[in-house]
A and B are shown apart, each in its own frame.
Chain A
Amino acid sequence: MRLWREASLVAAKDLRIEARSRIALGQILPFGIIVAILFAFALDPDSGLLTRVAPGLFWVTVLLAALLAVGRSFAVEEKSNARDGLRLTGLDGSAVFLGKMAAIAAELFFLEILLGIAVVILYGVEVNGVVVLLAAAPAATLGIASTGTLYGVLAAGLRSRETLLPLLLLPVLAPVLLGATRAFEGGLEGAPSDAWPWVGLLWIFATFYTAFGVLAFGTLWEND
């Protein structure tokens, strides 16, 4: 009970900071939309190629935006050494992990909804399996957020964190990109039944990294 109370406290704090600073709304969201628009310009909509690659483009855009969100989540802890303040409260490292992960996931989910609308309008894709999409998107989002939070704290104490984070994170997230793209292919233009094994993979990935983060984050958080 205490773990969830502490985690919700951290998540509420991070979301309040984001709402107040408007970095997520003012930079990360426009970044995602601009990337989607650029792809629409770069790939000829008439050839049908844009429709076929739309799931992959969607999740690549989400991954790039996730890098910004994760970096931002740990950057707010560096200013005025708030990280030490957070450690001094004696909060459980697992609670900090779950709180930060929840805040990043909420930001990404908000981005995905708006980006999804943009992709349907700009790329002209059809939605065949809403249930598949609704099952795949939260799993992929949790997978990205849990992995991002774990690698975010690993890179946070380093001088080269801005460049190191993508190098560490993107290879690990390759299974999420693959699974989410395949699941969305099934849910959009393809057959929804083909997507379910990929949805299962995404949930396994998200569960594994969330559990791993709950166990490992505290040690990384403590050892600055």
Chain B
Amino acid sequence: MPLVEFHSVVCLLGTFPALAGVDLQVEPRDIVLLEGPNGAGKTTLLRLIAGLIPPHSGEAQVFGLDLFKDRRSARRRLALVGHESYCYDDLTVMENLQFTFKASGVTGMEINSVLERTGLDGLAGVRHAHLSAGQRRRLALANAMVRNPELLLLDEPHAGLDEEGRACLHEIIASAPSEGRTVVLASHELELSRQLANREVRVESGTIVKSGRGEL
């Protein structure tokens, strides 16, 4: 059964149709690259899959759950790394991760191992407000991983990351299938992302114009 199944999905931002009839299927353990020009609708598509915005029409299911009826249950099983860190300025790295960990009701994940994996192990006691932009990106990734998601959504995950950060990111993406995880990433770093993805989807003007295994 596909993890994500969209048929003719329309999504409005105000009255603007950010997605105008999207058909998309994501199979378990896929690594899907969304590519396309700025304003094509990649971020909206990721936020829609994440259940942060509601679909307007069509059929939209994530984990077999209808996004028209129950977005919250779907959200419990996925994580999104967006353009911002989704963290609190006045909490430390560890406090932010602990809050997400407890609030998500996660089992089978250790915060310290996530800190090591994202290269944040020396920054556990530092407040979010005092982190650099690159360190915040790593924290956003750690904040997603600490939830042990079945589906990991990444929106421009390379942005702001140094070489070491990119290596951490690539290790997480590459090992996702063996950990039972599915990844959907939107990126303009096509060369890097194509090394990891086993499927590519091109988004233009709110619709999917091409989709296939390997480079389009």
A: residues with CB less than 8 A from B are 6, 9-10, 13, 16-17, 20-21, 76, 79-82, 84-92, 222-224
Q: Which 9 A-B pairs have the closest CB atoms?
A: A85-B86, A90-B76, A89-B103, A81-B84, A20-B90, A90-B75, A21-B90, A17-B90, A89-B104
Specify which of A9, A82, A88, A224 is in contact with B88 (CB 8 Å cutoff): A82
Q: Are B85 and A88 in contact (CB under 8 A)?
A: no
Q: How many A-B residue pairs have CB under 8 A?
A: 80
B55-91: which have CB < 8 Å to A?
71-73, 75-76, 78-80, 82-91
Q: Are B71 and A222 in contact (CB under 8 A)?
A: yes
Verify if B204 is at the interface (C-beta below 8 Å from A).
Answer: no
Known: A16-B95, A81-B82. A86 touches B89 (CB 8 A): no
Verify if B25 is at the interface (C-beta below 8 Å from A).
Answer: no
Number of chain B residues whose Cβ lies closer than 8 Å to a Cβ of chain A: 34
Verify if B102 is at the interface (C-beta below 8 Å from A).
Answer: yes
Complex CA distance for A86 and B147, rounded to whole angstroms: 12
Which residues of B are found within 8 Å of A6, using beta-carbon distances?
Answer: 103
Q: Are A88 and B52 in contact (CB under 8 A)?
A: yes
Specify which of A17, A81, A92 is in contact with B86 (CB 8 Å cutoff): A81
Verify if B135 is at the interface (C-beta below 8 Å from A).
Answer: no
Known: A80-B84, A90-B72, A90-B104. A17 touches B52 (CB 8 A): no
Specify which of B75, B79, B99 is in contact with A13 (CB 8 Å cutoff): B99
Known: A20-B91, A87-B52, A90-B73. A9 touches B99 (CB 8 A): yes
Give B99's nearest chain A residue, CB to CB: A13
Known: A80-B128, A222-B71. A88 touches B86 (CB 8 A): yes
B: residues with CB less than 8 A from A are 50, 52-54, 71-73, 75-76, 78-80, 82-91, 95, 99-100, 102-105, 127-128, 136, 143, 147
Which residues of A are found within 8 Å of B86, using beta-carbon distances?
Answer: 80-82, 84-86, 88
Give A85's nearest chain B residue, CB to CB: B86
Known: A81-B82, A82-B86. A88 touches B91 (CB 8 A): no
Please, could you name 25 A-B residue pairs with CB atoms under 8 Å apart, sorted by A? A9-B102, A10-B103, A13-B99, A17-B90, A20-B91, A21-B90, A79-B88, A80-B87, A80-B88, A80-B89, A82-B86, A82-B87, A84-B80, A84-B82, A85-B85, A85-B100, A85-B143, A86-B86, A87-B75, A88-B50, A88-B80, A89-B76, A89-B100, A90-B73, A91-B103
B149 → chain A closest CB, angstroms:
10
Q: Are A13 and B80 in contact (CB under 8 A)?
A: no
Give A22's nearest chain B residue, CB to CB: B90
Which residues of A are found within 8 Å of B50, using beta-carbon distances?
Answer: 88
B50 → chain A closest CB, angstroms:
7
A29 → chain B closest CB, angstroms:
17
Which residues of A are found within 8 Å of B136, using beta-carbon distances?
Answer: 80
Complex CA distance for A10 and B91, rounded to whole angstroms: 13
Complex CA distance for A81 and B155, rounded to whole angstroms: 14
Give B80's nearest chain A residue, CB to CB: A88
Which residues of A are found within 8 Å of B53, using beta-carbon distances?
Answer: 224
- For the complex with contacts A20-B91, A79-B89, A80-B87, 7 further pairs of A-B residues with Cβ separation under 8 Å are A13-B91, A76-B90, A79-B88, A80-B86, A80-B89, A85-B85, A88-B50
Give B139's nearest chain A residue, CB to CB: A80
